[in-house]
Structure 1
C-alpha cells in the first residue's frame, strides 16, 4: 500500500524556501556565472563549448518574464529548489517513508547548504539537482513497484538533463554498474529499461549532434578543468562530501546507504554513489558532481530515522544544520563584514558576487577619459567571462574575451587600435607598442576575490592584426 504524501508540511516547506530565496535574491549581487549566462542568453544555440543550452535559455526566460535584474534571473533557481524539495519528499515516500520521513527529507533538502546556494544563484546545478531527483524517483518506481514502464519516464528526464549538464551520465553509469553487480539483473533482460535508454538518446540527439559537429568541445573543456583544478578537487572531494549539504545530512546519508544496501531491489542505487564518486575522483571533477545521489542516500536515511522512532532528534539536528547552512549559503552577513568572516573562503559564490559595479566603474573610468574619437576605436579585453559579463551588463561597448564560448564572438574589429586590458597577462600586453596601468579595481569592502586589486591597462599601437592573434587568445577554464 502506497504511503500518503505529507502534502501540507512538504508544500509549506517548499513555499517558505521559495519565498526566502526570492526575498534574499538581491543580496550582494550577480555571481560571475550569472553574468556569463546573461551574455550567452543573447546568443541562442543548441550548445556552447562549455555547457549545454538549458541554463542560459532559462536565464533568457527569467529576464524576459521578470526583468533584467539580479532578482529576475534568480526566480527560476528559487523555483527549482522548491520543486527539488517536493521531488525528494516523493523519493522518501517511494522508499516507504511516511509523512514524518517525508517532512524530514523536505526540511533537510530545503536547508542544505548546496540546495540554498543553488536556489539563491543561477548555476547549472540549480536545475541539475531537480533533474537528478526526478530521474531517481522514476527509477525507484520502476524497481520498487514492479512497473517497468517507469523506465520510459526516467529515460525522458535523463535525456532532458543532457541539455543542462552531461553529468547525468554519472547517474546512468553508476546505476548500470549497480544493476550489473547487484541486480536485479532481470531488469537488464527486459525491454523497458532499453526502451527508456532509447528515449533518452532520442531526446538528447540535437545536443549530441552539436558536440559531434563541433569536435566534442565538452571533452576539451573537461580536460582543461581537470588540468586546472583537478588536484585541488581530489583533495577537497572527501571532506566536501561531508559538508556539501551540511554534516547532519551526511550522517543520515550514511544510514541511508546501509538501508539501500540491505534492500536487494534498490541495492544498485547504493552502489551508484561510490561508482559516481570514483569516476569524479579519477577525472578530477568537482566535489558536487554526485550531489544528487547524496540526497537519495539522505532520503533513505530519514526513512530509517523515522522507522527507529528518532524523528525528534533528527528534526532538531536538521534545524541546526539548516541554520548553519543558511549563514554560509545566503547573503545574511552584511557585505561590509563579509571579509572578516570565514564564509567568503568557504562559499565561492558569495565572494564572487561582490564588487562587480566597482569593477565596471574602474574600466568605464579609463574608457571615458579617452577622447570620443579614440573611444570609437577602442576595444576592451577581459581575461574571464565574469568580467566580460559585468562590463556588458554595465553597458560598456566593444567588450571581447577569449574565455570559453566568448572566443566565438570575437575578434575585435581591425579598426580597434587602442585596447583596455583587464586580467590579461604580459603576453597579451606585449602585442601593443605601449601599455600603461590606468586604474586598479577595488571592491570597497576589502574582500579578496578574483577581481580585487586587478590592474586596468590602456594599450596603444597594436602590432599584429586581431585576426592573426585571436586564435592564441582562446582559453578554457
Structure 2
C-alpha cells in the first residue's frame, strides 16, 4: 500500500544548473595552475594499462583518465575537464535530491550552493581521483532511494542496483553506504521494501555490473584486501583520531550547522518519515569507519545528504533581509575559505599556508623539477652503461612523473614496486647495469635493498614547499646481485 507523503515541488532547474555551471567554470579556470597531482600521474599511466582491475582500485578512474587524455589532451587540464564536469553534475543531483526530500525551489538552490562550496567537492572536482565520481554516485543512489522509499515501489531497486554496480567499479566504499542504509532500515523502516523480491534482483544487477572487477580481484588473490589492511593498520590510529573533527572541516563549519539541521529534519520531520534511514545511516557509517580505521572522507556522500536535507529548514528560517544575508554570507565565506585551501588560487610561492592545512596542494608541485633532477642523475651514469641501467622509484607519483615528463628530456621509463606499478614491471633481466634510485623524504628501505648507493643530486621543487619529494634524492647504485625477476617480489609495496 502506497504511503501518502508531502508532494514534490517543481525542480529549480535554471538556478541549480547555473550553480553547477559556475562551479565547473571556476574549476576549469584553476585546472592548469600548479600541476598534476601525484595520483593523477598514476591514473594517467594506469589508463595506458587498461584492465578490469588494479591493485588498489577498480577500473573506472583509470578509464576516465584515458578518456580525458585522449579527448582533451595530455596535460593537467586535459585530465581535469572530466572532474569539473562531474562536480557540476554533483551539484545538480544535490538539487534533485533536495526535491525528493520535499524541499521547495529555495531549498533546492541552497542545497546546490551549499554542496558546491564544500572543501570535499572543490578538492574532488579540481583533480581526477576516485572520490570525484564516488560522491556523484552516492548522491544519485540517495536520490533513487528517496524516490523508492517515498513511493514504496521496490521496482526502483533495479536502477539502484545498476548505479551501485557502477559505483563498485569506481570505489568499493559504496558498500559502506549500502550497509549503513540497510542497517538503518531495520529500526526506522520502511521495512516492507526489504521483503520484496526486487531487492534480490537489484543485488544481482549490482553484482553483475561489478563482476568483471570482482573476478579480476579473485584471479589476482584480492590485492585490495592488502591495500585496505594497510589503510586500517598503518594509518588506522591516525584515521580514527581525525575522523570526527574532519567531518566539520570537509564541509566547512557554517555548512556543518546545516548538516546538523538536516540530520534533525530527517529524523524528526513526519513528512520525511520515509527517508529517516538516510539520517540514521550517516552516524552508522561514521561508527563503522571508527571500527575499521577508514579515512575521514569515506562517509562524505552521506554527509552531503544531510547538507541537502538541511537546506529547506534554513531557507524557512531565513525570512527577512538580515537572516537571508547571514545565510548568503555563510555560503560565500565557506566558498572563499575552502577555495583558498583546496584550489590552487594562491601563487605557488605562497602556497605554504594552504599546503600546511591541505597537503594535496603540495602533491601538485615540483614534478618537472623532480624529473630534471633525475636527468642530472642519468647523466652521471656512464654512457656505455645506460643501455642496461634501470630507473627505480619509491612511489607511483615519482614513476608517473618520469613517464609524463621523462620523454621530454630523453629519459627511459621508470619502474616501481608501489601499487599497480609493480604489475607493470619488472625490468628486463638484461638490465644488468647500475640502478638510478629516486626517493622522496621516505626511502622505504630502498637504499638498503641496493648496494653502493651514493647521492647524485637532491630533489628541490624550487619554491620551498614541503612535499613528500622535497629533500629527497637521486641515488646512483651498483648493479643488482640478483636478476630483476628474482629481486622484484621483494620490492612490492601496498602503502
Residue in structure 2 matched with residue 7 of structure 1 by the alignment? 13
Residue in structure 2 matched with residue 163 of structure 1 by the alignment? 169
Could you tell me how far apart the structure 2 residues matched to 1:81 and 1:433 are? Answer: 48
Q: After the TM superposition, which of the residue ranges 156-165 and 463-472 deviates more from structure 2? A: 463-472
Q: After the TM superposition, which of the residue ranges 186-195 and 289-298 deviates more from structure 2? A: 186-195
- Asked if structure 2 preserves the Cα contact closer than 8 Å seen for 1:358 and 1:443, the reply is yes
- Asked if structure 2 preserves the Cα contact closer than 8 Å seen for 1:362 and 1:441, the reply is yes
Could you tell me how far apart the structure 2 residues matched to 1:242 and 1:176 are? Answer: 25
Q: Structure 1 length normalisation: TM-score?
A: 0.97
- Asked if structure 2 preserves the Cα contact closer than 8 Å seen for 1:257 and 1:270, the reply is yes
Say which SS state the counterpart of residue 50 (structure 1) adopts.
Answer: coil
Q: 1:231 aligns with which of 221, 225, 237?
A: 237
Residue in structure 2 matched with residue 323 of structure 1 by the alignment? 336
- Asked if structure 2 preserves the Cα contact closer than 8 Å seen for 1:431 and 1:463, the reply is no
- Asked if structure 2 preserves the Cα contact closer than 8 Å seen for 1:225 and 1:476, the reply is no
1:340-379 equivalences under 5 Å are: 341=353, 343-379=354-390
Q: 2:396 aligns with which of 374, 385, 392?
A: 385
Say which SS state the counterpart of residue 422 (structure 1) adopts.
Answer: strand
Say which SS state the counterpart of residue 114 (structure 1) adopts.
Answer: helix
1:71-90 equivalences under 5 Å are: 71-90=77-96
1:213 paired to 2:223: no
1:425-440 equivalences under 5 Å are: 425=443, 427-440=445-458
Q: Spell out structure 1 runs of 4+ moving beyond 6 A.
A: none
Deviation of 1:433 after TM superposition, in Å, equals: 4.5
1:278 paired to 2:293: no
Q: 2:438 aligns with which of 422, 437, 440?
A: 422
Residue in structure 2 matched with residue 337 of structure 1 by the alignment? 350
Say which SS state the counterpart of residue 476 (structure 2) adopts.
Answer: strand
- Asked if structure 1 preserves the Cα contact closer than 8 Å seen for 2:402 and 2:413, the reply is no
Could you tell me how far apart the structure 2 residues matched to 1:81 and 1:210 are? Answer: 29
Deviation of 1:257 after TM superposition, in Å, equals: 0.6
How many corresponding residue pairs? 475
Q: After the TM superposition, which of the residue ranges 2-11 and 81-90 deviates more from structure 2? A: 2-11
Residue in structure 1 matched with residue 309 of structure 2 by the alignment? 300
Deviation of 1:298 after TM superposition, in Å, equals: 0.5
1:449 paired to 2:462: no
Query: What RMSD, in angstroms, separates the aligned Cα atoms of the two structures?
Result: 1.4
Deviation of 1:275 after TM superposition, in Å, equals: 1.4
1:18 paired to 2:36: no
Deviation of 1:430 after TM superposition, in Å, equals: 4.0
Residue in structure 1 matched with residue 124 of structure 2 by the alignment? 118
- Asked if structure 2 preserves the Cα contact closer than 8 Å seen for 1:104 and 1:315, the reply is no
Say which SS state the counterpart of residue 225 (structure 1) adopts.
Answer: helix
Q: For the structure 1 residues 398 and 255, does the alpha-carbon distance in structure 2 shift closer, same or farther, using more than 3 Å as the test?
A: same
Deviation of 1:179 after TM superposition, in Å, equals: 0.8
* Unpaired runs of at least 5, structure 1: none
Could you tell me how far apart the structure 2 residues matched to 1:159 and 1:464 are? Answer: 44
Q: For the structure 1 residues 151 and 43, does the alpha-carbon distance in structure 2 shift closer, same or farther, using more than 3 Å as the test?
A: same
- Asked if structure 1 preserves the Cα contact closer than 8 Å seen for 2:456 and 2:476, the reply is yes
Say which SS state the counterpart of residue 453 (structure 2) adopts.
Answer: strand
Deviation of 1:406 after TM superposition, in Å, equals: 0.8
Q: For the structure 1 residues 208 and 371, does the alpha-carbon distance in structure 2 shift closer, same or farther, using more than 3 Å as the test?
A: same
- Asked if structure 1 preserves the Cα contact closer than 8 Å seen for 2:254 and 2:334, the reply is yes
Could you tell me how far apart the structure 2 residues matched to 1:430 and 1:447 are? Answer: 28
Could you tell me how far apart the structure 2 residues matched to 1:107 and 1:172 are? Answer: 26
Could you tell me how far apart the structure 1 residues matched to 2:255 and 2:340 are? Answer: 16
Residue in structure 1 matched with residue 428 of structure 2 by the alignment? 413
Deviation of 1:431 after TM superposition, in Å, equals: 4.5
1:240 paired to 2:246: yes
Residue in structure 1 matched with residue 156 of structure 2 by the alignment? 150
- CA deviation map 1:22-74 (0-9, x unaligned): 11101110000000001111101000010000001100000000000100000
Could you tell me how far apart the structure 2 residues matched to 1:84 and 1:234 are? Answer: 28
- Asked if structure 1 preserves the Cα contact closer than 8 Å seen for 2:380 and 2:456, the reply is no
